Structure 1
Amino acid sequence: MARKKKKQLKIPAIIGGFLLILVGFVFSLVSLTDPVDNTDPFVQQEDEDMTKQEFIERLQPHAEELQEGYGILPSIIIGQAILESNWGSSQLAHEYNNLFGVKAEGEQDKVSLETKEYVNQQWVTIEGDFRVYHSWEESMDDHTMLFVNGVDWDPQKYEEVLTAQDYQQAAEALQEAGYATDPDYSNKVKNVIENYQLDQYD
């Protein structure tokens, strides 16, 4: 009788061992098929499929906060963001949260990408180092502080952008201060503001 019991006990032990192996195999398959996320968890990636209106509404609240704090018109912030980032869909905006094409200096977090600039009356493609931000809000903050603090050699460089009474004056001030190399930049800013009634947020 004792021998018979020992033989019966071996069967459930074999089945149990087989089940453990099977479970381990299934888990290994799941781990292999699970995509690995290599993105920086500290950098917030925005949805590049948002509509134009969603893009405007995404930036509007923080743009209005910056107006309250520093006087910059929300229409200018949003209008420039639309032009510089192609509604947030550019690689620089989507992957690196840089809405305004702000260049990097010194030891700042940066990425090297191709860009077009207007030089000697023609468009040329160059490689530039651009700032990397953790969010669109951080990019908007830096953009506003450029207007507030100016540049090392001219702290008042963008003062007229901040003191402008309306978006037309602000756009002209951007052009005169040399914000962009595009000779038609002020008109492009004004056109996008007018086409999407962005001045309603001012």
Structure 2
Amino acid sequence: MLRAESFAPASFPAVERGARLPAATSGASAGGFTNLFRELRREIEQFIATGSDRSSGMALSAEGAVRRARMLWNEGARNTIGAASPPEAGRVSRTTPEAQRAFVASIAPFAREAAARLGVSPELVIAHAALESGWGAHRPMGFGDRDSFNFFGIKAGSGWRGEVVRAMTTEYEEGLPVRRPQIFRSYPDAMAAFADYARLLGESNRYRELPGVGEDAVAFARALARGGYATDPDYAEKLERLARQVRAIGLPEAGEE
């Protein structure tokens, strides 16, 4: 996903990353997370006091306790954030071949326009949208299932003056996935989303290697990765694989979408 700091400082406060355990989440939307969190706290406190986990007979290291707490905290936050979550960075939803073909056909005209501005093939733009949105099934959604039309996971920095939606996303830190809330740009329709995407990639010096790569999926993917579009270490490889898949599906003839 495109980091907001690629173009402007992020406007959303960072999630605290210290080893201190967070307080338990309250509210009905958290479901069973609160009880699970309390159980975890008791387990950790018992380990600190006695050096062992009496309930299970298994030792729990301090590092393991913090890692487990973070995992549960991230899961609880996902359930209480108030917005649908986009897919994890680089993880593509398991959609049916029919749904994938429908997705390709639905965005083909917008992808063609964006591709023409960037000097790349529309199949590469579609593959990028499929990677970031899970074939369109996991775009960031606002309250009341309001569609953001954000097919590319573009975050909203301080310079963004349009609508926004809030959702959980996955970033990779030192090779490990970390769930955290982010603010994403929201568009009135798909045409506006693809136009913004083409403008950002075309004007940013970070992605200066991308415009003009034509049908070269390897060059396209690596230009995005080198520019810091996503933190997933396997991002370029996944994008290359999706580009081959989109080409196998094929695009409808212009004007037939």
SS of the equivalent of 1:124 reads: strand
**1:127 Cα offset (Å):** 0.6
Compared with structure 1, are the counterparts of its residues 76 and 190 closer, same or farther at alpha carbon in structure 2 (3 Å cutoff)?
same
Compared with structure 1, are the counterparts of its residues 199 and 189 closer, same or farther at alpha carbon in structure 2 (3 Å cutoff)?
farther
**1:78 Cα offset (Å):** 0.4
Q: Which runs of 5+ in 1 are unaligned?
A: 1-47, 151-155
Aligned match of 2:130 = 82
After superposition, the C-alpha distances for 1:86-126 in whole angstroms (9 at most, x for unaligned) are 11111416721110110012343111111111112200001
Q: Which runs of 5+ in 2 are unaligned?
A: 1-94, 252-257
- Is 2:122 aligned against 1:70? no
The residue type paired with residue 108 of structure 2 is Q
* Equivalent pairs, count: 149
Larger helix proportion of the pair: 1
Distance in 2 (CA, whole Å) between partners of 1:111 and 1:65 is: 25
Compared with structure 1, are the counterparts of its residues 147 and 199 closer, same or farther at alpha carbon in structure 2 (3 Å cutoff)?
farther
Identity score, percent: 29
Distance in 1 (CA, whole Å) between partners of 2:151 and 2:126 is: 10
**1:198 Cα offset (Å):** 6.1
- Is 2:237 aligned against 1:187? yes
CA contact (8 A) 2:162 2:187 kept: no
- Is 2:163 aligned against 1:109? yes
Partner residue of 1:118 out of 167, 172, 177 = 172
CA contact (8 A) 2:155 2:184 kept: yes
Larger RCO, structure (CA 8 Å, separation 6 or more): 2
Deviates more, 1:184-193 or 1:157-166: 157-166
Partner residue of 1:173 out of 198, 219, 223 = 223
Distance in 1 (CA, whole Å) between partners of 2:233 and 2:102 is: 29
Aligned match of 2:202 = 148
The residue type paired with residue 134 of structure 1 is P
Aligned match of 2:59 = none
Partner residue of 2:149 out of 97, 112, 117 = 97
Aligned match of 1:6 = none
Deviates more, 1:179-188 or 1:68-77: 68-77
Note the aligned Cα RMSD (angstroms): 2.4
TM-score (norm 2): 0.53
